[in-house]
Amino acid sequence: MVSFQRQEQILKLLNTKQFARYSDLAKVLFVSPATVRRDTLDMENRGLVKRVLNGVTLSQEPEDVPYDYSVTLNLDAKRMVASRAGRLIKNGMSLFIDSSTTALVLIRELKDIDELYIVTNGILIALEASKRPGWRVNLVGGAVNKMLENISGDKAIRDIENYQAELAIFSCRGLIGAGANDANDLEANIKRAFAAHADAVMLLVDHTKVGKHQLYMSAPMNALNYIATDKVMPEAIVNAARANHVQIFD
């Protein structure tokens, strides 16, 4: 097992136990405590975990979470979101789709759509969508984020500005009455560009993101047209959505 695989296992364990001793992790991973300490030091430097006395715990809100780990979280909720979001998508539509794991679930759920035009910054989104013979897929250029398996940066923004899509679809790290927000400024910039060059915008958000507040605004409430979610929203968000003529699919 190589380092990134061990780190994914550490994150999965911490997601259930919140805290783990170095010695216990070493036994589970069949490596030395020194190896675990090196792995967790690297993870701490990336904001994924916090090392404490004799062990390690999850950071409250890491900026980036490994894609392979993120895609396993709240999968039933993501499928529910995808099912509701799919109501808007029709044959022949042009779409901006972000690199989120919820968007990846949505792509896999669109079994009855034969023809789509997709522009995305998600490497796995592009690969998955390209499996469908009637779907035309464009991947924007720019800097590659290996952990998130996506593309961002100024070149990606310039690429997006060359398109006009019927619908922009993206997720977020948090949703409050003011709108959708993210912990990563590069991610937020991509979503703002998608929204600026689309006729309509749909946010994908499961209940674990609702009420969370991150640093970067990716889409104010008045930039959204639709919100697809898995559970009924809090009254404050419902009222904010209604005031901005945002339709909620719940």
Q: Is the pLDDT of residue 142 over 60?
A: yes
Distance of alpha carbon 95 from alpha carbon 166, whole angstroms: 6
Strands 49-52 and 55-58, by their bridges, are antiparallel
pLDDT digits (tens, 9 = 90+) for 203-243: 999 998 999 888 899 999 999 999 999 999 999 999 999 99
Token reading at 55? 């062990």
Would you place residue 70 in the very low, low, confident or very high pLDDT band (cuts 50, 70, 90)? low
Would you place residue 67 in the very low, low, confident or very high pLDDT band (cuts 50, 70, 90)? low
Residue in the structure block whose two tokens are 């409250």: 60
Q: Average the pLDDT over 89-104 and give the result.
A: 96
- Secondary structure (DSSP) of the chain: --HHHHHHHHHHHHHHHSEEEHHHHHHHHTS-HHHHHHHHHHHHHTTSEEEETTEEEE-SS-S---HHHHTTTTHHHHHHHHHHHGGG--TT-EEEE-S-HHHHHHHHH-TT---EEEEESBHHHHHHHTTSTTEEEEE--SEEETTTTEEESHHHHHHHTT--EEEEEE--SEEETTEEEES-HHHHHHHHHHHHTEEEEEEE--TTTBT---SEEEEEGGG-SEEE-SSPPPHHHHHHHHHTTPEEE-
Distance of alpha carbon 237 from alpha carbon 95, whole angstroms: 26
pLDDT digits (tens, 9 = 90+) for 8-55: 888 888 877 778 899 999 999 999 999 999 999 988 887 778 888 888
Q: Which of 147, 141, 112 is nearest to 126 (CA)?
A: 141
Distance of alpha carbon 101 from alpha carbon 76, whole angstroms: 12
Distance set, CA 178 to CA 128, 190, 205, 234 (Å)? 33, 19, 15, 13
Would you place residue 99 in the very low, low, confident or very high pLDDT band (cuts 50, 70, 90)? very high
Half-sphere exposure (CA, 13 Å, Cβ side) for 119?
25
pLDDT at res. 3: 85
Percent of the chain past pLDDT 90, that is, above it, reads 71
pLDDT at res. 216: 92
Q: Average the pLDDT over 156-168 and give the result.
A: 98
pLDDT at res. 68: 57
Half-sphere exposure (CA, 13 Å, Cβ side) for 98?
30
Q: Which of 206, 208, 203 is nearest to 244 (CA)?
A: 203
Q: Which residues contact 108 (CB under 8 A, 6 or more apart)?
A: 82, 128
Distance of alpha carbon 52 from alpha carbon 19, whole angstroms: 9
